[in-house]
Amino acid sequence: MALSDNPYINSLPGEEIGDLNASKGWSPPAPATSRDRGTGPYKRLVLRGATIIDGTGAPPWGPADIVVEQDRIVATIGVGASLATINPKHRPAPGDHEIDCHGKFVLPGLVDSHAHIGTPYHSMCGDPPPADYIYKLWLAHGVTTVREMGGLNGLQFTLQQRDASARQEIAAPHIVAHAYFPAVNERVKTIYTPDQAREWVRKLKERGADGIKFFGAPPSIMKAALDEAAKLGLRSGCHHAQMAVTRVNALKSASWGLTSTEHYYGLPEALFEDQIVQDYPTDYNYFDEYFRFSLAGQMFLQAAQPGTSKWNDVLDQFLELGHTFVPTFNIYDANRDLMRARRADWHDAYTWRAIWKYFQPQRGGHGAYWYRWSTRNEVEWKQNYRLWMQFVNDYKNRGGRVCTGSDSGFIFQIFGFGLIRELELLQEAGFHPLEVMRAATSQGAELLGVGDETGSVEAGKRADLLVLDENPLDDFKLLYGTGAMRLNDDTGKVEWHRALRWTIKAGMVLDVDELLADVRTLVDQSWEGDPERPPNVR
Average pLDDT, the chain: 95
Whether pLDDT at 150 is above 60? yes
Residue 76 lies in a domain: yes
Instruction: pLDDT band for 537, please (50, 70, 90 cuts).
Output: low
Which range of residues forms the domain containing residue 498? 44-108+457-527
Per-residue model confidence as pLDDT tens digits over 443-460:
999 999 999 999 999 999
Number of domains, the chain: 1
| Average pLDDT of span 241-257 | 96
Residue 520 lies in a domain: yes
Instruction: pLDDT band for 531, please (50, 70, 90 cuts).
Output: confident
What's 96's domain CATH number? 2.30.40.10
Residue 89 lies in a domain: yes
Give the Cα separation of 146 and 342 in Å (integer): 25
Question: Given this model, what pLDDT does residue 489 score?
Answer: 96
Amino acid (1-letter code) at residue 435: E
Beta carbons of 433 and 476 less than 8 angstroms apart: yes
Question: Given this model, what pLDDT does residue 1 score?
Answer: 43
Question: Given this model, what pLDDT does residue 488 score?
Answer: 96
Question: Given this model, what pLDDT does residue 10 score?
Answer: 84
| Average pLDDT of span 149-168 | 96
Whether pLDDT at 76 is above 60? yes
Residue 484 lies in a domain: yes
Residue 494 lies in a domain: yes
Task: Calculate the alpha carbon distances from 439 to 68, 359, 401, 404, 479 in Å.
Answer: 24, 28, 8, 6, 16
Whether pLDDT at 2 is above 70? no
Residue 61 lies in a domain: yes
To the nearest whole percent, how much of the chain has pLDDT over 90? 92
Give the Cα separation of 74 and 80 in Å (integer): 19
Question: Given this model, what pLDDT does residue 534 score?
Answer: 73
Residue 113 lies in a domain: no
Residue 473 lies in a domain: yes
Beta carbons of 42 and 96 less than 8 angstroms apart: yes
To the nearest whole percent, how much of the chain has pLDDT over 70? 98
Give the Cα separation of 403 and 330 in Å (integer): 13
Whether pLDDT at 223 is above 50? yes
